[in-house]
Every structure is written in C-alpha cells, then in structure tokens.
Amino acid sequence: MEYRRFGRLDWKASALGFGCMRLPTVGGDHSHIDEPLATRMIYYAIDHGVNYIDTAYPYHGGNSERFLGKVLKGSYRDRIRLATKLPCWLIAERGDFDRYFNEQLERLQTDHIDFYLLHSLHANTWHKVRDLGVLEWAEEARRSGRIGHLGFSFHDRYEVFKEIVDAYEGWDFCQIQYNYMDVDNQAGMQGLRYAASKGLAVVVMEPLLGGRLANPPAAVQAVWDSAPRKRSAVEWALQWLWNQPEVSVVLSGMSAMEHVVENVACAERSGVGTLGAEEIALVDRARAAYLGLRPIPCTGCEYCLPCPNGLGIPSLLDMLNSVALYGDIEGGRRRYGHMPEGERAGACQECRQCEDLCPQQIPISEWMGRIHRVFGEGHPLEEVLSGR
C-alpha cells in the first residue's frame, strides 16, 4: 500500500480509503447490509494496508455505523483511523450536537472519533451550524479527546468552499467530490489546491462519480483503448487522482469483493508523478469524449437566471445531460419527482426570456418540454432526443 501525508498532520493515510456508504446489501434493501460479505471486504482492505475508514450517520439507514462498531471491535480498531460525520441538516438546536455525537459513539462502540466531519456543508447548513456554535462545541470535544481532528464534507460552489475554509483556522481536513469530470464542479481542482495550500488534508469522494465512470460508453472506451499502457477505466480515474500531490486519500464506496481487490491493487501502483504528460492528456481526451455526448451545449454560465417562473434552468439541463452521458435514467426520474412541481421543467411558461440571454443560443423552452417528457412522463430518452 502507498501512503500519503495527511495535510499538516504527522500521519500518513493509505492512498485508498474505504467508504462505507455502498456496502453490499441483501434483498434490495439498502438498510440491510450483507454483514458476512462486508466484513470480509473490510478485513481484506485493512489487512492489505487500508488505514482510513469513512462512514456517516445516515449511511445504510444508520446501519453503516452500527456494522462498523461490531466489525472493528478488538485489534482492527487500533489499525485504522475512523471518520464519521455530523448530520448538519438534522441540527435544530445546540443540544443536538451532543445528542447525535453521543449516539454515534454508541453505534460505533468507541469512546472517540479520529476524524469528525460536518457533513455535506453548503451555504445554508454551514451558516446554520456555525451560528449555533458548532466550532466552539467541536473545540471542546477535541480538548476532551472525544474528537481527534475536525473537518467538513462539501457540496456547493467554490466561493462557498473558500468561505468555509477561511472561516476557521482549526480545520484539519476537508472532503470534496472530485474526479476527472468534476474539475470545475463544486470545489473542483481550484478548491483542492486552495485547501492544500492552507495545510488541510483533502479527502476525495466520488472518484468514479458513483460508479458512472467505471463502464464508459464506446466513445470514451476508445480513448482508453488507444493508450500504449492498458488500464481499466476504473484505474485511469483513480491514478489521475493519485497523480496529484494535493490529494491525501481517495475514498471508494466498494460494494463487492472484486472492487476491493482491484482498488487495493491500483493503490499499490499509485503515486505522484505516476502518469506522464501524454497520459494526463489522454484523460483530458476522455473528458472531452464524455462532454461530446451532451445533447445540450450548456456551460452553466447562469446567464439564463433568474427564471421569472422559478425554474433552476441550468440544473434541469444538466439533469438531462448527465443521463445522456452516464445513464441512470431512473435515478434522474426519482430526483425530478422529488422536486416541487413548480420547479420542474413542466412548469415552463415558454416566455423565452432565458433564450434571449443564453450565450449558447440554446432553445431552452423546447428543452424544458423534452426534459419533462423524459423525467416527468416517462418517455424513452432516445425517442425524446431524436425529436419523436
């Protein structure tokens, strides 16, 4: 196993971390973990050098923490650093910090958390927990030894990320969604480098975009096939991350033993400078091949906003683009169904004010109708994209 410096801390993390959000399950029930298989997977990873295990309060309906509490009893707990997260969206008052944290200690059967994160921060949740005194609470928890190191996970724009990093000198680490398709999304490469410049360790989540980069379409696979050195699509994605010195650990949410075996082997081959300039350019070509599959040439500039009818136009366009690139149309339909009806594409009034402002001259009103047919009415994607 390769090990990497964890920010300014005098400790090195395994290049690969085990993310416990996608453990194997039984009977299609996300909350019912296949404990015998998951145990073998966790032990294999630790026995092969993985020393960073990540979970969170809501994973597997709360059972991820309970499972780890059982599986890490004894010597395995001493061989790893354990990370879990405060469910910030559930916090309503200051007393909730202790209430949820104490519940997590009980679930995990431990008296301390090595790495504790404020979970899934965006502008609203950050301002809420900040104003309730979460940093003061965390400082006291660190002084008492209940928390080893404090960080946060993040889902918002770079400007919000920078605000959070700059708000507190006591951050030890952060966790961001980052992969070769997300270089300009959320914190992105700019956030990775900014956090590292401040001495923070950077934990990467979603290195394969929830598995979507593991089985590329033909146009992208052709790029990988053209490489003199053959790697799987998974390894290309992982090695691209490990090639960057600012990355401290890459979390993989592994759901099968073969995932663990493959990812451990990839980590053993990893290191800064592993990829040469031509191979980095190849990853750029793969990204371009993916982007070439987008049916809508939206750049996310947001010139179309605000919509007078309250539609989040760029997000709706991105929803269709993402399904065209990566599949998972049913996941897109679920997300669409959870949106307030007035914010769905079907609420478009075809005023075309957005079209007058769009630098790409996208016929947005027409696309809103297509998006609603795909996600709201269940029409086949290919049929809608072909104009039928």
Tens digit of pLDDT at every position of the chain (388 positions): 999 999 999 999 999 999 999 999 999 898 999 999 999 999 999 999 999 999 999 999 999 999 999 999 888 999 999 999 999 999 999 999 999 999 999 999 999 999 999 999 999 999 999 999 999 999 999 999 999 999 999 999 999 999 999 999 999 999 999 999 999 989 999 999 999 999 999 999 999 988 889 989 999 999 999 999 999 999 999 999 999 999 999 999 999 999 999 999 999 999 999 999 999 999 999 999 999 888 998 888 888 999 999 999 999 999 999 888 888 889 899 999 999 999 999 999 999 999 999 988 999 999 999 999 999 999 998 888 876 5
Question: Which domains are assigned to the chain?
Answer: 3-285 (3.20.20.100), 313-385 (no CATH)
- Write a three-state SS string for the chain: CCEEECCCCCCEEECEEEECCCCCEECCEEEEECHHHHHHHHHHHHHCCCCEEECCCCHHHHHHHHHHHHHCCCHHHHCCEEEEEECHHHCCCCHHHHHHHHHHHHHHCCCCEEEEEEEEECHHHHHHHHHCCHHHHHHHHHHCCCEEEEEEEECCCHHHHHHHHHHCCCCCEEEEECCCCCCCCCCHHHHHHHHHHCCCEEEEECCCCCCCCCCCCHHHHHHHHCCCCCCCHHHHHHHHHHCCCCCCEEEECCCCHHHHHHHHHHHHCCCCCCCCHHHHHHHHHHHHHHHCCCCCCCCCCCCCCCCCCCCCHHHHHHHHHHHHHHCCHHHHHHHHHHCCHHHCHHHCCCCCHHHHHCCCCCCHHHHHHHHHHHHCCCCCHHHHHCCC
